[in-house]
Structure 1
Amino acid sequence: MNLEKLLQALSGNPMYRISVTGDTVELIAVTPSMGEAASDVEAEPSESRHMIIIFKIKEGNELEPINAYVEDSRGQRRSVGLDEIRWWLDIIDQTSG
């Protein structure tokens, strides 16, 4: 996916923060809590989690995911497979104009 297309697709969405430094892009997404994800209105509030995806900007401003993980409020990390990130990027690419 192209950097400009990603920026356009996610702009204005408060769940995403994107920073570009040199040839690296860091995308931080706030993920819903387990209760929110399950639409459980009676669930106890739970800790926030962030998905962090690091991209390298390649020729033509194309993005290549190089690292991805979910981090909880205690700083514990769980890796996310880059194939999952590529699949997510394909979905955004197909649904954005």
Structure 2
Amino acid sequence: MSYAHESCLFFFCSTGGGRRMHGRIAEAPVSEAERIARVYVLAARGDTWAALVQAVADALIDLAEVEQRATKRDQLISRGYARAGQPSPSAPL
């Protein structure tokens, strides 16, 4: 990304992506994703590439944790089902 693009992105983020109305910047609704992106850019001291890489790395860590919890949950469910045994076809519901 060129310096000009980084400057534009920084300006856009620093102004909230708002629109100019009557010489002022109108407050545009900011999504949660935009707020998170701003925090990453600030933490990376304006380096948008470093911010993106860190955000993706953090997302991958979170995804791995969720997958690990899901696998553990599935194993616990399987063990509980095996311990309890399958219901017999003649058992009342």
Range class of TM-score, shorter chain:
under 0.3
Q: Larger RCO: Structure 1 or Structure 2 (Cα < 8 Å, ≥ 6 residues apart)? A: 1
Normalised TM-score (structure 1) = 0.26
Larger relative strand fraction: 1
Which protein is richer in helix relative to its size? 2
Rg larger for: 2
